[in-house]
Chain A
Amino acid sequence: MLELKHIMFERDNKKILNDINLTIDTGKFIAITGQNGSGKSTLAKIIMGIEKPDSGQVIFEGQDITNKTIDERARMGIGFAFQQPVKFKGITVLDLIRLSANRKMNKKEACDILSTVGLCANEYIDREVNGSLSGGELKRIEIALLAVRDAKLCIFDEPEAGIDLWSFQNLIEVFENIQERTKGTTLIISHQERILKIADEIILMRNGKIQKTGKAEEVLAEMNVKPHCCKLNKGTKC
């Protein structure tokens, strides 16, 4: 469903993405991980059309979309939840949910969506999406916005960041529900082991390159994700 060919993206003499090649199939739940600054968000933005690669191609469902605009891609079925949600002035949660949904949506339905991301709907639905919302609240709204789109390809950039652990299972249910409905592909950028573990495949990035892709077990093994000894746990985890 998605193919990236020789994607290059360079800024300030730094190769932020250095020859990225990738094929992703329909119906998959894929995680992208890697160090801070390794190029994960940049890659996601290139798929959504927010950044243009210096060279290379983006193919979506057999069509070259490299020169398509953000909104064209959105209408073709690509959706993106930002790592840092955007704030507005005067635009409410309900306004955004309605804009995001590809169908007519009454207030009750919009409230139901908010509930699925763990927000008490009545308190939030008419609030402005501005700096008065907490980081976690903005993040949940951002997830809800993508959840209503029923996009064929959903890209979440660190959706778990700022979300309390208690809600973690709910978050995973949100992803499951999206995939059940759309039968599409979910691409999640994450540092969270609990998300990486449930992925069909993990893409590990390093310095603008794909260091490894493969089944979750293999990549996790390569990453050597095991409890580590350190001074903090005084060796009890070894």
Chain B
Amino acid sequence: MLREETNKAYMEKIEENLLETIAGDDVRTGAYNIRKNGKGVERQITENVKIETKKDGTGIDIYVKENTKFEIVHIPVIITQSGLKDVVYNDFYIGKNANVVIVAGCGIHNDEHNDSQHDGIHRFFLEEGAKVRYYEKHYGEGKGDGKRILNPVTEVELKEGSSLEMESVQIKGVDSTIRETRGKVYKDGNLVVTEKILTAGTQLAKTVFDVDLEEEGASVKVTSRSVATENSKQQFESKIVGNTKCFGHVECDAIIKDNAKVTAIPEIIANNVDANLIHEAAIGKIAGEQLIKLMTLGLSEKEAEEKIIEGFLK
């Protein structure tokens, strides 16, 4: 009995730490929905933000009322049960001119031998003039050799004059990830995606962007910064299609170390003479002159390298 009690306290502590790592310490302010080991366990709604379980039980629908100003919605997922494969569909309906911050993310703690996996499919429907800032943080930990696998899919539909800024960070402990982001951007809509990835060991990270700029004034900016170390592999694929007068900019910047491998596959397709599309990709080791400069400030080579990577992923 006593053992069970301590074990329970231990798990609770792990869970709270996971939550804080991926969602910050203010998870329970405003509207939120916490999913643990495949089930919704805590929820709070507000006047402007409704959260409902889907009829078929596969996920939740989040409704933000039009003209909502500056609310924060937390949708974290944590997995502590080894061997669990969790798939969830979350749909966000953002009303006209609403302005919200959405914090999602997934933390996996796996102490055992079985693989734990979370596939989150998030769809965003932004009405005219809506503004969303969307943060997604991925994190894995635990002593087991069971893999921690995360495959997030984000689909966005941006109606006239709406904008979505997405920031995704995967810094530690995720063994395998395939991240897909698909978007359709309409008149004067603006999609900004920033991703930061650090891989080590034999980790694998693949990101796929597929964005269609459908109507005049639509724009997208994708910035990917990644560091691949040890024997890890990364692949960055992006396809931007400009069907009208629009602007697209993709920037993929990777630092490679040790025996890591990085592949960048750019694709930009202009179907209109006024489509302005740019793709920049750079892969390379840490610039020698940056190391040298920091060493002249008294940092050892290792410290200098850490600082450069820390800054690069900041």
Contacts and interface: CB of A to CB of B under 8 A. Distances in A.
Interface of A: 48, 50, 69-71, 74-75, 79-80, 82, 86, 88-92, 95-96, 99-100, 102, 145, 149
Contacts of B310: 90
B289 to A, nearest CB: 5
Given A90-B313, A95-B311, A100-B297, 13 more contacts: A48-B296, A69-B301, A70-B296, A71-B296, A71-B298, A71-B300, A82-B293, A86-B290, A86-B292, A88-B308, A89-B225, A90-B312, A91-B307
Interface in B65-82: none
A189 to B, nearest CB: 15
A74 B298 CA distance: 5
B298 A75 contact: yes
A86 B292 CA distance: 9
B264 interface: no
Interface string B258-280: 00000000000000000000000
Contacts of B253: 89
B14 interface: no
Nearest to A76: B298
Contacts of A90: 225, 310-314
B281 interface: no
A69 B301 CA distance: 10
Contacts of A102: 298
From DSSP, what is the main secondary structure of chain A's interface residues? mixed
B292 A70 contact: yes
B299 interface: yes
B208 interface: no
Contacts of A99: 294, 297-299, 307
A149 B253 CA distance: 32
Interface string B34-72: 000000000000000000000000000000000000000
A132 to B, nearest CB: 14
A79 B296 contact: yes
B179 to A, nearest CB: 21
Contacts of A91: 307-308, 311
Interface SS majority for chain B:
helix
Nearest to A102: B298
Nearest to A73: B296
A74 B295 contact: yes
Interface residues of B, number: 23
24 contacts: A71-B295, A71-B298, A71-B299, A71-B300, A71-B301, A74-B295, A74-B296, A82-B293, A86-B287, A86-B292, A88-B311, A89-B225, A89-B312, A90-B310, A90-B311, A90-B313, A90-B314, A91-B311, A92-B311, A95-B307, A99-B299, A100-B297, A102-B298, A145-B297
A96 B301 CA distance: 16
Nearest to B301: A71
Nearest to B294: A99
B277 to A, nearest CB: 22
B301 A86 contact: no
Q: Which 9 A-B pairs have the closest CB atoms?
A: A90-B311, A91-B311, A70-B295, A74-B298, A86-B293, A71-B295, A90-B314, A100-B297, A86-B289
Contacts of B225: 89-90
Contact of B311 (A69, A70, A79, A89): A89
Interface string B117-128: 000000000000
A69 B300 CA distance: 9
Contacts of A75: 298
A82 to B, nearest CB: 7
Contacts of B296: 48, 50, 70-71, 74, 79-80
A50 B288 CA distance: 11
A86 B296 CA distance: 12
Contact of B297 (A69, A89, A149): A149
Nearest to A99: B297
Contacts of B295: 69-71, 74
Contacts of B297: 74, 96, 99-100, 145, 149
- Most B CB atoms within 10 A — which of A70, A82, A102, A149? A70
Interface string B146-172: 000000000000000000000000000
A50 to B, nearest CB: 6
Interface in B213-255: 225, 253
A79 B295 CA distance: 10
A102 to B, nearest CB: 7
B298 to A, nearest CB: 4
Most central of B292, B297, B312, B314 by chain A CB within 10 Å: B297
Contacts of A145: 297
Nearest to A87: B290
B10 to A, nearest CB: 37
A92 B307 CA distance: 11
A50 B313 contact: no
B287 to A, nearest CB: 8
